[in-house]
Amino acid sequence: MPTGVRVAGLMRAPTPTISAASSFFFLFFFLSSSCIIVVFSASDAETLLQFKQSLTSATALNNWNPSVPPCENHKANWAGVLCLNGHVRGLRLENMGLKGEVDMNSLVSLTRLRTLSFMNNTLVGSWPPVITKLGSLRSVYLSYNHFSGEIPDDAFTGMKFLKKVFLTNNEFNGPIPSSLASLSRLIELRLDGNKFKGQVPQFQIDTLTKLNVSNNELDGPIPTSLSHMDPSCFSGNNDLCGDPLPECGKAPMSSSGLLKIAVIIIILGVTLAVIAAIFIILNLRNQPAALQLGKENAGMINMEDQDQKKYVNAKQVAAGVGDGYRSIESSSSSVAQATRRGGADHGKLLFVRDDRERFDLQDLLRASAEILGSGSFGSSYKATILSNAVVVKRYKHMNNVGREEFHEHMRRLGRLTHPNLLPLVAYYYRKEEKLLISDFVDNGSLASHLHGNHNLEEAGLDWATRLKIIRGIARGLSYLYASLPNIVAAHGHLKSSNVLLDESMEPLLTDYGLSPVANLEQGQSLMMAYKSPEYAQMGRITKKTDIWSFGIVILEMLTGRFPENYLTRNHDPKADLAAWVNNMIKEKKTAQVFDTELGRARESSKGELLKMLKIALSCCEEDVDRRLDLNQVAAEIEDLNDADLSDDDDDDDDDDGHNFSPTSRHIHIAV
């Protein structure tokens, strides 16, 4: 047997230590070079390193260091690795600039692998047959690569747990494998943007809710089982027909009909373009320079947002900010220096950290910018400068605060450092304009992961990950309370879109500590869904105001439901999240409270789920005196025993919720 023979199909040992594993490895090579066949158990680390070797470009995986285990309990030490109970449960190698032909043979020994994602890289090669052997997989994401060739018809046979398959924008060809159509748990299938030919197979899967086979070379009738899908799922193919597309055999519209429609579209288009041009010209006249952030790429910025229009048209803002931005010059001065010079910081970007590459406002103005969203306190843009992506948030309700006070407060925030806080990097101050700059977090927010807007088509969050996020939030909050003892609500704006998630799903709190510089009268009427009743109704802020918001975030993670604003018109009081959960418990429907995306964890980890539910409801106690304080919440969360956290089997059908009472195990939920 030659040296360097591929280690394939090996059995896994029960978690060998890394040093032991390495010596096994050496033993293997020594023996194999002596032509003796030895079968030993590969550790997760060895497996992953072998996999990495097959890539021609993998600098993003430089921290895959053999002297550190990839997983320690639920903590991942290696980039892109997802862990559960000390084992690799997923690979999330997205947007990492990976190149080469993936050799996935070694991955067979990762018997607990649930998620495999290589999206947005430059990987080549044909359908890796070994994927079929990864029987534990729940989701496969290969979209936006250069995988090619035909996928064998039986490629998915035996992958009985598979729920999501994403192959978008590759170069796969040949027929859609019929084994895909027999996956009994498939929920989402994306095959768009390939070169699949022939007919769409008969999918008889009740669970399949999202399908996209557009932009392929498919033809023939669409199976009746898919006729309820949106027509756009089938567009851009050679000759697909039948519901929801036009009937098979029906002649396409006559050329004169098409011509009429084209003329109408052109007339409408021209009219809209003229209106848009007039609107843009009028707007640009009034527009402050600050809004020209990324103006070379203005098309990327959505200026149509209502809030933003109000902001743009405020003359006061336009005058003040315009001046400020015209006097921009390169600034590397520290905040302290700028403050000492008393007012010399007009128009400058002030960095609050020394470990950052400096850029100035001109760089920001030149950078390509993309609007991320407009929230209750302002709008956020993503800008790419010197190959770094940053987020610039323009705050609306901060014009009561004085210059010195603002500088002082930003300095204080700039000193905060904790693994669960997104650090403030820099800021800009003018009386009428405040910008705060932080790093862009690629993995999105807890809100987008929970409620499905995550543009990387992320798999659902399992219980272990949710628990890790809750713990991280509690730790971040505890640090904030210890570091900012003079601020009554040290976060002041906790909600799921202000919890960002890093590569290893650690939460990073953002938008924190701003209550001393925000105009609270505006804040009070905003973001009600997360605001405690005493704050929302009477403007009373206490040390426990953040605790209420934290409770709502935990409930959101347990239930998968978006919290309702209980002060909106036509609001059903029973629909606000805390009230809804309390009501369900009263009606003895506790099991139905939990998010179905939690899968079998709803049964196997129900002790932990119930304990967490109890903690959340104690945070959402209307009586402030009875509400837990942060120390109690943090301690209870840390105490939760995760030893029996189960693997997420994702079997949504198992728990009908009827034999699951709030008093099961040793926990009692007060109702």
Ligand X SMILES: Nc1ncnc2c1ncn2[C@@H]1O[C@H](COP(=O)(O)OP(=O)(O)OP(=O)(O)O)[C@@H](O)[C@H]1O
> Which SS3 state, helix, strand or coil, does residue 631 take?
helix
Q: What secondary structure, in 3-state letters, does 445-481 show?
A: EHHHHHHCCCCCCCCCCCHHHHHHHHHHHHHHHHHHH
**Rounded Cα–Cα distance for residues 237 and 176 (Å):** 13
DSSP 212-258: E--SSEEEEEPPGGGTTS-GGGG-S-SEEESTTSSPTTPPPPPHHHH
Applying CB under 6 A, does 94 fall inside the site for ligand X? no
Which position's Cβ is nearest ligand X? 375
**Rounded Cα–Cα distance for residues 565 and 668 (Å):** 28
Query: Closer to ligand X at the Cβ: 61 or 435?
Result: 435
Query: Closer to ligand X at the Cβ: 203 or 512?
Result: 512
Which range in 185-193, 240-248, 370-378, 535-543 contacts ligand X by CB under 6 A? 370-378
| 368-374 and 433-439 strand pairing | unpaired
Amino acid at 464: A
Least gap, CB of 258 to ligand X (angstroms):
41
Q: Which two tokens stand for residue 325?
A: 């931005």
* The one among 80, 288, 320, 378 contacting ligand X by CB under 6 A: 378
Least gap, CB of 422 to ligand X (angstroms):
6
**Rounded Cα–Cα distance for residues 559 and 561 (Å):** 5
Query: Closer to ligand X at the Cβ: 454 or 589?
Result: 454
Least gap, CB of 427 to ligand X (angstroms):
14
Query: Closer to ligand X at the Cβ: 496 or 604?
Result: 496
**Rounded Cα–Cα distance for residues 179 and 85 (Å):** 32
DSSP bridge pairs for 426: 351, 437
Applying CB under 6 A, does 121 fall inside the site for ligand X? no
Query: Closer to ligand X at the Cβ: 192 or 511?
Result: 511
Query: How many residues bind to ligand X according to rule CB under 6 A?
Result: 22
Query: Closer to ligand X at the Cβ: 187 or 367?
Result: 367
Applying CB under 6 A, does 646 fall inside the site for ligand X? no
Phi and psi angles of residue 633, each rounded to the nearest 5 degrees, phi first:
-60, -45
Applying CB under 6 A, does 440 fall inside the site for ligand X? yes
Phi and psi angles of residue 497, each rounded to the nearest 5 degrees, phi first:
-80, -10
Query: Closer to ligand X at the Cβ: 388 or 596?
Result: 388
Applying CB under 6 A, does 393 fall inside the site for ligand X? yes
Query: Closer to ligand X at the Cβ: 44 or 458?
Result: 458
* The one among 497, 515, 545, 604 contacting ligand X by CB under 6 A: 497
Applying CB under 6 A, does 511 fall inside the site for ligand X? yes
Applying CB under 6 A, does 375 fall inside the site for ligand X? yes
Least gap, CB of 157 to ligand X (angstroms):
40
Applying CB under 6 A, does 456 fall inside the site for ligand X? no
* The one among 25, 172, 196, 377 contacting ligand X by CB under 6 A: 377
| Cis amide bond preceding 231, omega within 30 | no
Applying CB under 6 A, does 438 fall inside the site for ligand X? yes
Applying CB under 6 A, does 130 fall inside the site for ligand X? no
Contacts of 474 (CB under 8 A, 6+ apart): 550, 630, 633, 634, 637, 638
DSSP bridge pairs for 393: 380, 436
Query: Closer to ligand X at the Cβ: 391 or 617?
Result: 391
DSSP 44-90: HHHHHHHHHHT-SB-GGGTT--TTS-SEETTEE-STTEEEETTEEEE
**Rounded Cα–Cα distance for residues 237 and 215 (Å):** 5
Applying CB under 6 A, does 372 fall inside the site for ligand X? yes
Applying CB under 6 A, does 373 fall inside the site for ligand X? yes
DSSP bridge pairs for 245: none
Least gap, CB of 577 to ligand X (angstroms):
17
Applying CB under 6 A, does 420 fall inside the site for ligand X? no
Applying CB under 6 A, does 520 fall inside the site for ligand X? no
Applying CB under 6 A, does 308 fall inside the site for ligand X? no
**Rounded Cα–Cα distance for residues 389 and 252 (Å):** 47
Residue identified by tokens 């390509």 is: 368
Which range in 304-312, 491-499, 585-593, 626-634 contacts ligand X by CB under 6 A? 491-499
Least gap, CB of 51 to ligand X (angstroms):
29
Least gap, CB of 435 to ligand X (angstroms):
12
Applying CB under 6 A, does 441 fall inside the site for ligand X? yes
Applying CB under 6 A, does 445 fall inside the site for ligand X? yes
- Closest residue by Cα to residue 628 from 558, 540, 544, 554: 544
Q: Are 178 and 200 in contact (CB under 8 A)?
A: no
Query: Closer to ligand X at the Cβ: 10 or 401?
Result: 401
- Helices 463-483, 606-619: axis angle to 10 degrees equals 30
Q: Using a CB cutoff of 8 Å and minimum separation of 24, what contacts does 343-350 make? A: 343/403, 345/407, 345/429, 346/430, 347/323, 347/430, 348/428, 349/426, 349/427, 349/428, 349/435, 349/437, 350/407, 350/410, 350/426, 350/427, 350/428, 350/429
Q: Which two tokens stand for residue 44?
A: 């997760």
The beta-strand segments (E) located in 118-158 are 122-126, 139-141, 146-150
Count of other CB atoms within 10 angstroms of residue 107 = 24
Query: Closer to ligand X at the Cβ: 197 or 356?
Result: 356
Least gap, CB of 372 to ligand X (angstroms):
3
* The one among 379, 399, 478, 646 contacting ligand X by CB under 6 A: 379
Applying CB under 6 A, does 237 fall inside the site for ligand X? no
Least gap, CB of 321 to ligand X (angstroms):
18
Residues 522-541, interacting with ligand X (CB under 6 A): 527
Contacts of 5 (CB under 8 A, 6+ apart): 32
Q: Are 90 and 81 in contact (CB under 8 A)?
A: yes
- Closest residue by Cα to residue 159 from 122, 127, 134: 134
Applying CB under 6 A, does 391 fall inside the site for ligand X? yes
**Rounded Cα–Cα distance for residues 211 and 200 (Å):** 11
Which range in 86-94, 433-441, 471-479, 483-491 contacts ligand X by CB under 6 A? 433-441
Query: Closer to ligand X at the Cβ: 194 or 510?
Result: 510
Query: Closer to ligand X at the Cβ: 513 or 662?
Result: 513
Query: Closer to ligand X at the Cβ: 418 or 611?
Result: 418
* The one among 134, 233, 289, 500 contacting ligand X by CB under 6 A: 500
Query: Closer to ligand X at the Cβ: 115 or 379?
Result: 379
Which range in 142-150, 157-165, 204-212, 372-380 contacts ligand X by CB under 6 A? 372-380
| Binding residues for ligand X (CB under 6 A) | 372-373, 375-380, 391, 393, 422, 438, 440-441, 445, 493, 497-498, 500, 510-511, 527
